[in-house]
Structures are given as C-alpha cells and as structure tokens.
Amino acid sequence: MATSKKSSTSSQESSSEEKSTTTLASSSQEALDARITDRNSNEFNPDEILEQEIRDAKPELDFSKIKFIHSSLADHIITLADRMIKKMETELGSEPSKSEFKGVKDMFDYSFTIKDKNNPNGKILNHEEDLKNFIPILTKRIEQGEGARVDGLLKAENIFEQGSHKNRNKFYLSTIAVSSGIEIVKVNWEFAVQTYKEAKEIAEDTFKKAIYDAYVEEYNKIDGNRSNSITAIILRHENSFGYASKITQAIDAYGKSLQKINDDLTTAFNKLSTDLVKSWNLMAQAQTTLMLENKTDSLNLWKSIKSAYNNLISK
C-alpha cells in the first residue's frame, strides 16, 4: 500500500513538471519572437524600407520625350506624298475620268487673251465663246440668202460636230485609263504606308523593351550602392556605363531595323512619284490633244464658212 501511494505521488509530480516545462517553452518562444521583431524594427529605418519598396516595385518608364529621329525624314515623305496626291485630285476634280485638266485650259485662255504691255489699250482677239456664238448666226444669214448654195457649209458643220464628239470620246477614254492607273497607285501607296507604320511601331516597341530591361537590370545596381568607398565608386561607374552601353545598343538595333523600313517606304515613294508624274503628263497631254483637235476642226469649219460665203457673194 505504501509503495502504491508513493508511485502515485511520483506520477503527479512528473505530470506537473511536464506541464511546467511546456508552459515555459511556449513562453520562451513568444519572448524570442518578440525580441526578433523588436530587433528587426530597430535595425531598419522606415525611409530605407520605403526606398527598398520603390526599387522593388515594377517601373513605369516615361518614353514621351524620346524623339525617334531615324524615322523623321520618312514621316516627312508621307506628308509630301499626301500633298502630291491632293494636288492631283484638286486639279482633276471629283471625277478624273470626265474632268478636263484645268491648268491646260488656263494656259490657253491666258495666252489667247494676252496683252501687250507696250500697248495697254490694245484690244484682245475674239474669245472662244464669241466664236461659238457667232457660228449659228452666220450660218443662218447665209441660209437666208440662198439655201441651195450652202450645202458645203452644212456638210462642214456636220463634219465639225462629228469631229467634236470623236475628240471628246477619245479624251474620255484616255482619262479613264489614267484615272484607273491613279487609283492603283494610291492603293499601293496606302498599303506601303500602312506596312511602314506597323513595322516602325514594332521597332519602337522593341527599343522600349530593351531600355526597360536595361533599366531594371542596371539602375537598381547604381541606385542601391551609395557607399563612398573606392570600391563602391568604381562599381557605380561600371554599372552606369553598363547601362549607357545597353541604351546605345538598343538605339543601334533600332536604327538598323529602320534602315530596311525606310528603304521600303522610299522605294514605294519613288514608284508613287514616277507614276503620279506620268499620269499628270498623260492627263495634261490628253487635254492638250483635245484642245488642239477641237481648234483644228474649228479652223477647218471657218475655212468652209469663208469658202461658202465667198461663193455666195460671187454669184
């Protein structure tokens, strides 16, 4: 019985020691955690923590002030081409296939009514409109004189009208061919410009990506080492020029890619310029040919009128 009581007492004491040990261990861990927390708080300055957070944050670089100089002349070429196309469309009007080349007609009108500076009061020659209005009047007078004797005149007028229709039809066919060619030129140019813009955008994005990668890799090294030791100064300069080297490499790669892009656009612009000038010449000459043929037909008509009138008054 004594042995059993002693054994029971020993068990209670052992259990009490285990509980005390467990409690002590738990309290010690909490105290240790608290000391670590206090130590961490004391070792780091809040400003330093903020700077570290800024350096670790994903950068958002501002590329707005960067001027992509390699493409500036090519961009100007696009502006120049747009002006050329606009000039062509302005000169030809809304329907190139049925429009007269106004510039050629202006040349004729000014030349036909040109004035002599040494004779400012001198009269200009009869204008084209006066001649057109006078033809039916003269014809009517001749017919009233003796109808049987104006058969030649009526035939000449008919030939003149047929010639006018023929000349106009030939002019329309020429302008239709030219205007169709102009539309093809414009479509090809628009495709070249769109291709250029897309390729340039890819090149610019590639450049920005290279700068971004260099910034992330090198800038934090430069900014994170502020010691004034000789070693730190040397490392800062090394990292700085490493950053600068990566930037110039990115610019070099961008420039090389723009060489191909600019060359393709220049080739398309040369094609556009050649074809527009060729179309310009064809349209101007078609207008000139129309005017020449009409004036020649008018001259022949008036020769017939003169002959008919001379025959009338000689009888």
93-112 tens-digit pLDDT: 656 556 677 788 888 888 88
Count structural domains, the chain: 1
- Whether residue 204 lies inside any domain: the answer is yes
Which range among 61-75, 235-249, 297-311 shows the weakest confidence by mean pLDDT?
297-311
The confidence score (pLDDT) of residue 258 equals 94
- pLDDT of 18 higher than 50: no
User: What is the span of the domain harbouring residue 256?
Assistant: 67-314
- Whether residue 15 lies inside any domain: the answer is no
- Whether residue 42 lies inside any domain: the answer is no
Q: Highest-confidence range of 82-96, 130-144, 179-193, 225-239, by mean pLDDT?
A: 179-193
The confidence score (pLDDT) of residue 54 equals 53
- Whether residue 284 lies inside any domain: the answer is yes
- Whether residue 211 lies inside any domain: the answer is yes
- Whether residue 145 lies inside any domain: the answer is yes
Q: What token pair was written down for 258?
A: 């723009």
Q: Which residue has the higher pLDDT, 136 or 70?
A: 70
- Whether residue 50 lies inside any domain: the answer is no
- pLDDT of 169 higher than 80: yes
pLDDT band of residue 87 (cuts 50, 70, 90) is: confident
- Whether residue 58 lies inside any domain: the answer is no
